[in-house]
Structure 1
Amino acid sequence: MTSAQIALAEGWGVRAIVSPLGSGRINDSYLAQGAEDRWVLQRINRFVFRRPDVLMDNVARVSVHLNTKHPGWTPTLIPTRDGANHAQLDGDIWRLWSYANGRSLAKLDNDRQAEAAGRAVGQTHRWLQDLQGPRLDAAIPGHLQLERYLAAFDAGPDAEPELMDFIDARRHLAGHFRERNGIIHGDGHLDNLMFGEDGNVVAVLDLDTVMWGHWAWDFGDLVRSVLGGQASATRFAAAARGYLGAANVQASVDDLVMAPRYITFMIGLRYLTDHLDGDRYFKVGAHGENRQRALDRFRFLQALEAAEPAFIDSAASLVETRGLEDGLNDDDDRDH
């Protein structure tokens, strides 16, 4: 038996055919196919998640809360034979999820899907506003805070001079989105959304980084992912329209335009830092993959910068329209 089959049998008393699932770069995920049911088994990356108790407490609280708002919005944690939300075997942390129906989209076919993705992230933010209990503690301290990643980069080996110049020219991005003002998903990109046959999102996956943060961190990651490497102002507008229509946030034109640039720069910086540090965080098939991932993000960032005028026009139109709608709603409230 493999380690995954042993964990499944000892932790949950389940025997199933187990096979690798997905291409995640952090945890190890497996499809567990039983005689009648199927589940997703995961081994948590202990190097990345060094506070597994915090991680699992956050995940359990948030998944229950979201599923009371909309049943099936996230997968359900399956309790172990002992009633716990995870099993610890030979130093590894394992957990078992219900299987989420729907399909993930590596690339979108149209702007309607982008709007649906934005709406799903916005709705998740709205539903998380009234989560009861103490404020969520970050499973990864400093996650998505650009100044932290710049400090980690500065503490390591230098990159090539041209990359150092590229990074230095964009350090100012760390001045954006410092305020943490609500509960966010923390990994709000396209891979973590499951779409139904009608083109709408039916489930949100991967709650490992739910935390108190800034809404623009999730929004920026969403836009980055739905653009698929193309700085399309119309695709950006569709995602932003969906998000703003569902979320309860005060967004400026600058917030909307800078969010995808902030997150794209940050992700590229993380990949480059990990490359220089020996690929300890993100999974790679060979040394050099993280450097190439960084270069791809930096090239996309340059495309976003070049498209700034079109993005500003799109964002301004959305903010103006939303302001008019809010004004009409205020008038309606006064009439009643």
Structure 2
Amino acid sequence: MQDIADIIGLFAIEGELQKVKANKEGHINSTFISTFIHEGKQYKYTHQKLNDSVFTRPEEVMDNIQKVTSHIQTKLIHLADRDKRCLQLVKTKQDAWYAYDEAGSLWRTYRFIDEVNTYPFLDDQHLAYRFGEAVGTFQHHLCDFPADKLHTTIAKFHHMGSRYNQLRQAIEKDKAKRLQSVQAELQFFLENEERGMTLTTALEEGRVPLRVTHNDTKISNILFDRTTGEGVCVIDLDTVMSGTILFDTGDMLRTGSITAGEDEQDLSKVGCDENLFIQMVKGYRSVADNFLTDTERQLIAESGRATTQIMGVRFLTDYLNGDVYYHIERPSHNLDRARTQIALMQDMDRKWASITGSLS
């Protein structure tokens, strides 16, 4: 790879480069953190190489990010701590938002956001409320952005009908000869297909509006202020596109309410934490209620179940296809993931009356 200092040198950063270190936390893009000294002060930056095997149209990804962050920044101009509330792209010396290295890979640079915490999982009701609040704030800032101006960088990403079509293709081909071993899981997903279409159908029929969606609203993509505990910034904007914001509430509820790891093999440990679920919704609605439609409000809880179902179908499809999409560490890994999603849905169903009653 081209020397990282040379790549950083393509960007318009004032001062002298002091050090660079690799950040191993991400699983898709290559990330580095640099430290510069300018006029006696220290400044840090985040540099990322986009994974073009995942993002096949990286310039469109960057155009979406630039449009969305610029819009959010106009909403923050009056705040003293605005620099930590939205990702800020740094331009290149050629006045562009990204640069290409000698191998043809796209690189971008953000100003580093400091004095914040991140969390790998959710286990606290107060944090759950703050999590929901952060997702609601992100959507509130973008509720007046024309979503049809964004590129579709991953087609039908959360389209349930498309995911079921892929599952049926996997069943028909049975590439890995695993079909007979997953009959119970297939039966569950096929029995739930009609209900799972709720979000997709509502969007296609115009019963919920087209809005900007993040599409990966897990808690590790929220930066929390180290002093106040507020969720101040939503990061990892590579999948920002148009859709229904219920995709984002759904992913928030799916990842935030599960009581075990996504690949837990002991299904007795897998369930839905009802209290965390409710607090996420309350935090979210404390900000979002002023722009949500009645139908969107009515479908928030359902979005958690539907998004869990989408992921379960995707994991099972990949298992039948021979594990070609998701990284695995054991032969049953994708099947284990699919089973945890089923277990989460089943526990949601057991608690559904209580959850919806608390949110009515």
* TM-score, structure 1 as length reference: 0.84
CA–CA distance in structure 2, aligned partners of residues 203 and 39 of structure 1: 16
CA–CA distance in structure 1, aligned partners of residues 158 and 184 of structure 2: 24
CA–CA distance in structure 2, aligned partners of residues 302 and 133 of structure 1: 34
Tell me if the contact between 1:47 and 1:281 (Cα under 8 Å) persists in the aligned partners.
no
1:170 deviates by 1.7
Specify which of 71, 96, 103 is matched with residue 84 of structure 1: 96
1:93 and 2:106 matched:
yes
Tell me if the contact between 2:147 and 2:211 (Cα under 8 Å) persists in the aligned partners.
no
Specify which of 4, 19, 22 is matched with residue 22 of structure 2: 19
Q: Secondary structure at the match of 1:202?
A: strand
Partner of 1:300: 344
Letter in 2 for 1:8: I
1:41 deviates by 1.9
Letter in 2 for 1:118: G
1:189 and 2:218 matched:
yes
CA–CA distance in structure 2, aligned partners of residues 274 and 20 of structure 1: 28
Specify which of 107, 127, 151 is matched with residue 113 of structure 1: 127
Q: Secondary structure at the match of 1:108?
A: coil
Specify which of 186, 192, 201 is matched with residue 164 of structure 1: 186
CA–CA distance in structure 1, aligned partners of residues 188 and 218 of structure 2: 25
Partner of 2:292: 249
Q: CA RMSD in A?
A: 2.5
Letter in 1 for 2:127: Q
CA–CA distance in structure 1, aligned partners of residues 245 and 62 of structure 2: 22
Partner of 2:253: 223
C-alpha change, 1:32 and 1:166, in structure 2 (3 Å) is farther
Which sits farther off after the overlay, 220-229 or 244-253?
A: 244-253
Tell me if the contact between 2:146 and 2:211 (Cα under 8 Å) persists in the aligned partners.
no
CA–CA distance in structure 1, aligned partners of residues 3 and 330 of structure 2: 24
C-alpha change, 1:38 and 1:271, in structure 2 (3 Å) is farther
Letter in 1 for 2:157: H
Letter in 1 for 2:242: W
Letter in 2 for 1:164: L
The within-5 A match list for 1:168-317 is 168-178=190-200, 179=203, 180-196=209-225, 197-229=227-259, 230-247=271-288, 248-251=291-294, 254-285=298-329, 288-316=332-360
Partner of 1:322: none
1:194 deviates by 0.8
Unaligned runs of 5+ in 1: 317-336
Q: Secondary structure at the match of 2:61?
A: helix
Partner of 1:8: 8
Tell me if the contact between 2:131 and 2:222 (Cα under 8 Å) persists in the aligned partners.
yes
CA–CA distance in structure 1, aligned partners of residues 328 and 69 of structure 2: 30
CA–CA distance in structure 2, aligned partners of residues 241 and 38 of structure 1: 35
Letter in 1 for 2:272: A
C-alpha change, 1:134 and 1:224, in structure 2 (3 Å) is closer
CA–CA distance in structure 2, aligned partners of residues 147 and 307 of structure 1: 26
Partner of 1:319: none
C-alpha change, 1:287 and 1:86, in structure 2 (3 Å) is farther
Tell me if the contact between 1:193 and 1:204 (Cα under 8 Å) persists in the aligned partners.
yes
Tell me if the contact between 1:114 and 1:239 (Cα under 8 Å) persists in the aligned partners.
yes
CA–CA distance in structure 2, aligned partners of residues 45 and 267 of structure 1: 22
Specify which of 124, 134, 144 is matched with residue 130 of structure 1: 144
Partner of 2:73: 67
Tell me if the contact between 1:30 and 1:42 (Cα under 8 Å) persists in the aligned partners.
yes
C-alpha change, 1:295 and 1:7, in structure 2 (3 Å) is farther
Q: Secondary structure at the match of 2:8?
A: helix
The count of residues paired between Structure 1 and Structure 2 equals 315
Letter in 2 for 1:223: L
Tell me if the contact between 1:44 and 1:94 (Cα under 8 Å) persists in the aligned partners.
yes
Tell me if the contact between 2:23 and 2:32 (Cα under 8 Å) persists in the aligned partners.
yes
C-alpha change, 1:295 and 1:93, in structure 2 (3 Å) is farther
Tell me if the contact between 1:77 and 1:98 (Cα under 8 Å) persists in the aligned partners.
yes
C-alpha change, 1:99 and 1:62, in structure 2 (3 Å) is same
CA–CA distance in structure 1, aligned partners of residues 348 and 27 of structure 2: 25
- Post-superposition CA distance 1:241-283 (Å, at most 9, x none): 1111211112457513211111111112223333444544434
CA–CA distance in structure 1, aligned partners of residues 34 and 327 of structure 2: 22
Tell me if the contact between 1:223 and 1:260 (Cα under 8 Å) persists in the aligned partners.
yes
Q: Secondary structure at the match of 1:85?
A: coil
Q: Secondary structure at the match of 1:274?
A: helix
CA–CA distance in structure 1, aligned partners of residues 285 and 332 of structure 2: 38
CA–CA distance in structure 1, aligned partners of residues 46 and 189 of structure 2: 39
Q: Secondary structure at the match of 1:177?
A: helix
1:168 deviates by 1.0
Partner of 1:332: none
Report runs of 4+ in structure 1 exceeding 6 Å deviation: none
